[in-house]
């Protein structure tokens, strides 16, 4: 896979030199998104575990919002359940008490596996939208643009 020069420099632990940082393009976008969220203030005062748990709650809210855009094409029983999940996710993201409870490496890897599954679904949904619109959509680029635009809004 092609690597992209970032224009940033870092210390290489292998060779002991200062070198220009190179990353895979998708890694660069993921890093930019994470940095934008940090600049917005959403990582402030939270441990890494607390931040992770809040992001899982945020997934519930975002999932419900996505569902609401297609609600007229889905069963009503799904709608009521999704609304509840979304409301709970939003409340817990905004107001929930978050312990600093640790996860085992096994549990972290299991979560990473589930997040990978979610990314597969997001990629497939994006592919369907591409086919419907008849144009290419780069979801990671759109996410990066949104995260960077939202910096000025700060924490809601």
Measured in whole angstroms, how far is the alpha carbon of residue 39 from the centre of its chain?
15
Asked if residue 3 belongs to a domain, the reply is no
Both structure tokens of 10: 């870092």
pLDDT one-digit tens code per residue, 40-98: 998 999 999 999 999 999 999 999 999 989 988 888 888 888 989 999 999 999 887 78
With a cut of 90, say whether residue 7 has pLDDT above it. Answer: no
Asked if residue 57 belongs to a domain, the reply is yes
List alpha helices for the chain, DSSP H. Answer: 25-40, 48-69, 76-95, 105-133, 139-149
pTM: 0.76
Please, which pLDDT band fits residue 23 given cuts at 50, 70 and 90? low
Asked if residue 93 belongs to a domain, the reply is yes
Q: Number of folded domains in the chain?
A: 1
Asked if residue 90 belongs to a domain, the reply is yes
List alpha helices for 41-104, DSSP H. Answer: 48-69, 76-95
Domain that holds residue 90: 46-151
Q: Which residues of 81-103 are buried (b: 16+ CB within 10 A; e: fewer)?
A: ebeebbeebbebbeeeebeeeee
Asked if residue 4 belongs to a domain, the reply is no
Asked if residue 12 belongs to a domain, the reply is no
């Amino acid at each position: 896979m092609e690597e992209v020069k970032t224009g940033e420099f870092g210390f290489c632990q292998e060779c002991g030199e200062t070198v220009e940082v190179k990353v895979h393009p998708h890694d660069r976008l993921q890093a930019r998104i994470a940095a934008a969220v940090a600049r917005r203030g959403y990582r402030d005062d939270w441990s890494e575990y607390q931040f992770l748990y809040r992001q899982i709650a945020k997934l519930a809210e975002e999932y419900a919002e996505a569902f609401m855009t297609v609600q007229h094409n889905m069963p009503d029983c799904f709608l009521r359940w999704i609304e509840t999940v979304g409301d709970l996710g939003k409340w817990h993201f905004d107001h929930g008490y978050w312990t600093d409870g640790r996860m085992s490496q096994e549990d972290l890897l299991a979560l990473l596996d589930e997040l990978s599954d979610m990314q597969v679904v997001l990629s497939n949904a994006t592919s369907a939208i591409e086919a419907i619109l008849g144009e290419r959509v780069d979801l990671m680029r759109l996410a990066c643009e949104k995260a960077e635009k939202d910096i000025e809004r700060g924490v809601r």
